[in-house]
Amino acid sequence: MSEIREDIITGDHVVISSERGKRPHDFNHEETTNKDDYCPFCYGNEDDTPPEITATSSNPNRKENEAGWDIRVIPNKFAALDIDADLKRQNGFYNKMTGVGAAEVLIESPDHEGSLGTHGLEHTIDIMRVLKERHDDLAQDERLKYVQIFKNHGGTAGASLEHPHWQIMSTPLIPTAIRGELDGAEEYYSENGNCVFCDILTEETEKGSRIIEDTEEFTAFAPYASRYPFEMWIMPKEHQHSLGQISEEQLKDLVKVLQKMIRKLEVGFDNPPYNIVLHTAPFLDGVEKKYHWHIEILPRLSINAGFELGTGNFINPTSPELAAETVEDITIE
Amino acid sequence: MSEIREDIITGDHVVISSERGKRPHDFNHEETTNKDDYCPFCYGNEDDTPPEITATSSNPNRKENEAGWDIRVIPNKFAALDIDADLKRQNGFYNKMTGVGAAEVLIESPDHEGSLGTHGLEHTIDIMRVLKERHDDLAQDERLKYVQIFKNHGGTAGASLEHPHWQIMSTPLIPTAIRGELDGAEEYYSENGNCVFCDILTEETEKGSRIIEDTEEFTAFAPYASRYPFEMWIMPKEHQHSLGQISEEQLKDLVKVLQKMIRKLEVGFDNPPYNIVLHTAPFLDGVEKKYHWHIEILPRLSINAGFELGTGNFINPTSPELAAETVEDITIE
């Protein structure tokens, strides 16, 4: 029997359909990443990308835009938004504005064959720290309202290049999904006097059946109204509205949990396509007590089809309880 | 220069990014539909589907669930929703309800190799008439609030079977996307005293640059805030909130436009994956003047990646003006 579950944050509904899980071709996935010999993200091709925004290197003598970096952040060569544009609005029957915003790429390491699940711990902490620094830097730009940090892994998750990377995009508007979470969180706060995300953590910890990993600083769990099969969220236990608030110690704990979840996906599902999206507070006053930043890991094992596009709701063939149990049981070493 | 356009109905924003159109791998598409020899939708395999709900046949002696049908509607064997379930709600920290609803499949014709763009006119009118009849029938069920009619074509658009078919799903809730359109339409109506969809038709007809096809009863156009490259909407000129209001004459005109748009896609893009979603009014009083049913054709030429999943907003690499011009220029005979 299917269930229709309500997302306590957004009010959106998800069909948790155990029947669908039985389809013979569910969870087959193909990797369609471009396997071209040439990679603009590898050492030696630094000139083929726009000049770097920042980079880390263990070599203090390394020059900008040359090889020898450990992590490199560059503007997206095919940027959908332009940080140098003037913010102009044009209102009429329809409204529009210029496409102002950041579109950056963080190259995770020089290792083309590397993966987020297998990088060294210290290196991965550096990656997350640089992402946080880019967030904090873009938060200073008064034209911008939000920073979306995300990762596409695998062709069917939208990665046009195989070399492991993240993207950082900043928009002059609060995106629809963030608006939805924020509206729900504000409503919950005014009714209950609490952060809905904090209350979710309390509820999930009590129940336990959707918890995948629980450390001192972070909880990884399969959300009650998961939209994607094996969707996993990682949330700080301490109430923090913004990624900008994470401490060095928490960063380390986050990376341990994140790498473990990704490694479990890589091993348990034979390197599936996935997206990671980091939801953090938009740059607005008054959201500090209500919003709570978190990471969503979204495996792309099923296809959004006409039902999802038409209704804006999801059919998920795997219950989050089954997902949590399955992921917990994947042995990675 | 990219533009951020506001959808006048929902208020959602879309990045229209001409830069992105330059990506070398944009608009390559692969068909991943299962090419198994066995097809449960072909003649002779009627016993392998659940018993039919309705069928048309030119043979008056044809028996139910045997070959000889022209169009056949069956319950989805892998149904995500169950029309026979009892509607039960369970509220607590999280809320849920039983998965009540219809999940039907309309098999377009016995011809496995056929396509919506190439069926005969009269046959395609029959298809649309049967879809309308299913809508009207499900609208009688007081537990249900909405009927989502949609079509998945091609593996990357979510079609798990190649044999041309539509799906009809009915839900006990108003879906998120319909709620969003309805809220926007109600706001527009209270501010302007008009149906926003009717005003869009007036504006588009005046401007002309996004119109693809204009007949006596229907307009096909690329919407101003198109989310998908080559997204096309087909809208009745007469104000009708519900598909249930379409006349026999209008049905014929609709099919002419729909087939032309699909045939242009098939020819111009080498049989690409696409979804069709039909948005019609939910079963609510008071929406009659405000909502306006329409068909959305959504080619699946680009991939929704981390930006789209994270923000709920879209980056569209093809402006609707370019899309309209391109589709208009595709010669289909």
Establish if B152 touches chain A: CB-CB under 8 angstroms: yes
Establish if A161 touches chain B: CB-CB under 8 angstroms: no
Contact B12, B225 (CB under 8 A): yes
From the CA of B333, how many Å to the nearest CA of chain A? 29
DSSP B5-32: EE-TTT--EEEE-TGGGG-TTTT-----
Instruction: Provide mean pLDDT across the span B75-102.
Output: 95
What residues contact residue B274 under an 8 Å CB cut-off, 6+ apart?
B153, B154, B157, B262, B265, B297, B298, B299, B300
Establish if A333 touches chain B: CB-CB under 8 angstroms: no
Mean pLDDT of chain A: 94
Q: State both tokens at B192.
A: 């302007």
**Three-state DSSP class for B237?**
coil
pLDDT, tens digit, 9 for 90 and up, residues A94-145: 999 999 999 999 999 999 999 999 999 999 999 999 999 999 999 999 999 9
Q: State both tokens at A323.
A: 């997902």
pLDDT at B100 over 80: yes
What residues contact residue A331 under an 8 Å CB cut-off, 6+ apart?
A267
From the CA of B58, how many Å to the nearest CA of chain A? 30
Burial of A26 (0-12, 13-18, 19+ CB in 10 A): middle
Give the model's pLDDT for residue B18: 73
Give the model's pLDDT for residue A23: 38
pLDDT at B263 over 80: yes
Eight-class DSSP state of B46: G
Q: State both tokens at A148.
A: 């979306």
Give the model's pLDDT for residue A316: 94
B150–A307: do the CB atoms touch at under 8 Å? yes
Radius of gyration of chain A (CA): 20
pLDDT at B31 over 70: no
Which residues, in sequence order, are bridge partners of residue A82? A100
Report how far residue B276's alpha carbon sits from residue B169's, in angstroms, rounded to the nearest whole number.
14
Mean pLDDT of chain B: 94
Which residues, in sequence order, are bridge partners of residue A3? A16, B98
Give the model's pLDDT for residue A157: 95
Which chain A residues are Cβ-neighbours of B313 within 8 angstroms? 171, 175-177
Establish if A178 touches chain B: CB-CB under 8 angstroms: yes
Which chain A residues are Cβ-neighbours of B82 within 8 angstroms? 1-2
Q: Which of B123, B40, B25 is nearest to B75 (CA)?
A: B40
**Three-state DSSP class for A265?**
helix
Give the model's pLDDT for residue B60: 95
Domains of chain A: 3-329 (3.30.428.10)
Report how far residue A181's alpha carbon sits from residue B74's, in angstroms, rounded to the nearest whole number.
38
**Three-state DSSP class for A205?**
helix
**Three-state DSSP class for A298?**
strand
Between B15, B172, B276, which is nearest A80 by CB? Answer: B15
Report how far residue B313's alpha carbon sits from residue A78's, in angstroms, rounded to the nearest whole number.
18
pLDDT at B333 over 90: no
Instruction: Provide mean pLDDT across the span B218-238.
Output: 97
Contact B304, A158 (CB under 8 A): yes
Report how far residue A299's alpha carbon sits from residue B307's, in angstroms, rounded to the nearest whole number.
15
Kindly state the helix (H) or strand (E) to which residue B251 belongs, with its residue range. Answer: helix B248-268
Contact B224, A94 (CB under 8 A): yes
Give the model's pLDDT for residue A182: 98
CA dihedral angle for residue A117, residue A32, residue B80, residue A12, rounded to 10 degrees: 60
Contact A173, A51 (CB under 8 A): no
Contact A320, A5 (CB under 8 A): no
- The C-alpha angle with vertex A32 and arms to A26 and A38, in degrees rounded to 5, equals 160
Strand order in the sheet with A165-171: A54-56, A71-75, A102-107, A165-171, A146-153, A274-279, A294-299, A232-236, A218-221, A211-214
Q: State both tokens at A261.
A: 């979840």
Interface mutation vs chain B, best among A3, A27, A39, A78, most B CBs within 10 Å: A78
- CA distances B5 to B51, B151, B227, B276, Å, are 47, 27, 10, 23
Q: Which of B86, B99, B145 is nearest to B282 (CA)?
A: B145
Compute CA B144 distance to the chain's CA centroid, rounded to the nearest angstrom: 19
Among A29, A165, A279, A294, which one carries the catalytic annotation? Answer: A165
Low-confidence stretches of chain A (pLDDT < 50) are 22-25, 32
What residues contact residue A119 under an 8 Å CB cut-off, 6+ apart?
A108, A109, A111, A127, A259
Instruction: Provide mean pLDDT across the span B73-87.
Output: 94
pLDDT at B24 over 60: no
pLDDT classification of B29: cutoffs 50, 70, 90 = low
Give the model's pLDDT for residue A25: 40
